[in-house]
Each structure stands twice: as C-alpha cells, then as structure tokens.
Amino acid sequence: MFRILLRSMTALLLTAAAAFTLAPAAQASDAAASVRAADPSTTGSFPVAYTDLTVSASGRSYSARVWYPGTTAGANAPVASGAHPGLAFGHGFFQAITQYESLLKHYASWGIITVAPKSQGGLFPSHSAFADDLNAALTWLTTQNSTTGSRFAGAVSTSRLAVSGHSMGGGAALVAASRNPAVRSVSTLAAAETNPSAVGASSVLGMPVQYVGGSADSIAGVAGNQQRMYDAKPAATQLRVITGGFHCGFEDSSGIGCDSGTVTRAAQLKLTYGVTTAWLLHTLGLDSSLYDQVWGSAAQSLAGVVYTAKP
C-alpha cells in the first residue's frame, strides 16, 4: 500500500490536456468500442434521457428511475444506438434518488445506462434487501436487452455491468457485488458499513473496486469505513480521498443532519465525476487509454485527491 499526497498539476500539463482532445465514440456499434475520454470530469457526448418505471426481477419489484444515453435529451427518448454498459446505483439513507441526479446524468452522458432504485428509502431500511434490489436492477436490465419491444432491447452490453452507491447505498453495492458474479466493477462514494458487513463483503470481491471518500466526512468517515473496506479488499482496488470533502458533498444539495467540508460542493462533485467516470470506463473495458487517470501518474498527481492503491 502506498499513499501520495497529490499536488497541483502544472499549467503545461493542463494546456496539453486541453489540446489533446479525443472525442467519445458516441455511436459505437458495441460497448467494446473505445469511448476515448480525454477528460471524464466534463460532460460526455450523449444527450441524457430518463424514464421512470417499475423494476420487476429476481422476485423483487420497486419503482426506479433510469438515466441513459438517448438520441435526444429528456423523458422517454429512444436509446442511443449501440450496446451500453449497465450500472445500478444505491442512494444513501433516507435520501431521494434525485439527490444524485447530476452524477447519474453525467454517467449517462458517457454512455452508461444507470438504474437507481427508489426502494429502502424509509427510516428502517434493510441493507441486505437493498443489495438484492441493486442486483435485481442488473438482472432486469439484462432481461430488457433481449425483450422484444423493450426500450432497452439490444442496447445493453450485458458483460459490462457495475454497481455503485453513496453511504448506505455504497455499502449495499459492495454486498450486492459479493452476491453477483456478473458484476465486473464497483465504485462507491462515502461507503458506510452495513449489515451484512460491507467490510466483510470487500474481503471476498475479485473484481476491481474503487472507494471514494472525503477527508472531512463526519457521518461515514474514511478511517472507520472506506479505509477498513479498502484494507480488506484484495487487489485490484483503490482509495481516493477528496481533501476537505464531506459526506453530503456527493449529493446535489444538503438536508437536515448533513455535514460540511472545506471544499465547495461544486468542486467535490467535479472531482467525483472525473475519478469515478474514468474508473468505470476503464474497468468496464471501454477505454484502455484511461489507465493513467486510474492507476498511473495522472491519478497519483490529481490535485485535491489523495491516492492509495493496490493495482
């Protein structure tokens, strides 16, 4: 394990990065085609569409919103051509999925179909059931890919599936991944310990897992949560800690009981967009050129984020 305190990138590197633009392969015929992402913290090339529906799969049934790459932006637009990776995202405790709209729309702009269950939103959620709901979302999406007449028929790259989530949802995502061999990658935000244990789940995961946290998080602090999960997880894994980042800084707004940090919400979200989108595109096999932003010197020197990894 190694830790590198990241410092500001030089103006020369920033200039070079701006000049070296690689357009995303927005209309690739299959997700195996590279989505060349020059700067994954910026909005991707796809118009973002969404639909509200009921997910019924694996004995589970619940309401969800799906954000996806569309031919046009807005509600119920057709899905953009190509086969796109699928992601199930778990909300935090007592949080509406709309709290994560900017992040999930960002993923959709890069070609990722994201299912956000509205289940387990009450005061007494079942973490185990939430994990099953996340897996049911992926099962449902895979089934829709082969269902004639479905909006998502032929639109899902069923071998490129991932789970993610914030706080309770991050812990549930880890538990879900431990139960589902179809999950290829995991990315979590301020993941909180759950029951069953997200730390225990991390110890048995074989796919790449990313833990993103905030150094000023006073709700699910790094030391008691993401660090323990990272320590338990065999390679390949990484821990990315946003300096001054706070628990509710991964959401679009704060409510009662939220904390605060020394970084602005906008800055924290921008960093989150970049490190998590790069992770998903790379570990799902969509863009090998993002290796440097995930494991290399660009990741290790990203200003505002402390990097620890077991590649």
Is 294 inside any structural domain?
yes
pTM of the model: 0.89
Q: Residue 37: what pLDDT?
A: 62
- Per residue in 114-141, pLDDT (tens digit) is 999 999 999 999 999 999 999 999 999 9
Is 34 inside any structural domain?
no
Is 31 inside any structural domain?
no
Give the chain's domain count. Answer: 1
Q: Residue 20: what pLDDT?
A: 33
CATH number for the domain spanning 150: value is 3.40.50.1820
Cis peptide bond N-terminal to 125, omega within 30: no
Is 306 inside any structural domain?
yes
Is 37 inside any structural domain?
no
Q: Residue 66: what pLDDT?
A: 99
Is 98 inside any structural domain?
yes
Write out residues in the chain with pLDDT < 50, as ranges.
1-33
Residue 63's H or E segment, with its range, is: strand 60-69
- 176-to-13, 163, 181, 186, 247 alpha-carbon distances in Å: 39, 8, 10, 10, 22
Residue ranges making up the domain that contains 56: 2-19+43-310
Cα separation, 23 vs 166, whole angstroms:
29
Is 26 inside any structural domain?
no
Q: Residue 38: what pLDDT?
A: 81
Q: Residue 8: what pLDDT?
A: 36
Residues near 28 by beta carbon (within 8 Å), at least 6 away in sequence:
34, 35, 82, 111
Q: Residue 36: what pLDDT?
A: 64
- Per residue in 164-176, pLDDT (tens digit) is 999 999 999 999 9
Residues near 280 by beta carbon (within 8 Å), at least 6 away in sequence:
85, 87, 107, 110, 112, 162, 164, 185, 187, 286
Q: Residue 271: what pLDDT?
A: 99
Is 75 inside any structural domain?
yes
